[in-house]
Amino acid sequence: MKSVQFIIEIFQKYPRLCIINILTSIMMSFVGALALLSLSPIIDMFLHQDGQGLSSLTLKVTAVMRALGIPATLPWEMGLMVFLVIAASAAQVLGNHVIVVTTHALHKDLMIGCFEDFFRAKWLFFSGNEQGKIFNTLNRELACVGDGLISIG
């Protein structure tokens, strides 16, 4: 239940970053699935070089390629697969970047809020405790909380 509350709070504080994260994840999955599906026609063309007995997926892919004016030959199919694999890798890099940006935004917000609370504390709080231990513990725990976003996502 606390995870759901945390996610709702993150969505309320960072709606733009959360929407970008979701869209990037969808794009990564879609391009990755296309890259995987592009392998089937290549294998099919290797197995059935005479063109007889091709799968329905291969027939659909070649029909789409012909409709776009692209020759449905083995080199073009291989080129399409390489392009889609590169696009899937680029989408993965973009997705990782968006996750890191979101994590840094969360860390920044947590750090600033905690430091403001830390410096507003009464003098007794500072004089009664060892400041170095408090500061190091605060930094370590804030990093753990911020990294919790990645494990939830």
Per-residue DSSP letters for 101-128? HHHHHHHHHHHHHHHHHHHTS-HHHHHH
- Kindly report, residue by residue over 48-61, the tens digit of the pLDDT: 888 788 888 888 88
**Pair 40, 55: CB distance under 8 Å:** yes
Structure tokens at 123: 């003098």
Spatial CB neighbours of 2, under 8 Å, sequence gap ≥ 6: none
Q: For the chain, give the percent of residues with pLDDT over 70.
A: 78
79 vs 76: CA distance, rounded Å: 5
- Kindly report, residue by residue over 106-122, the tens digit of the pLDDT: 878 877 777 777 767 66
Decide which of 109 and 27 is more confident: 27
pTM over 0.85: no
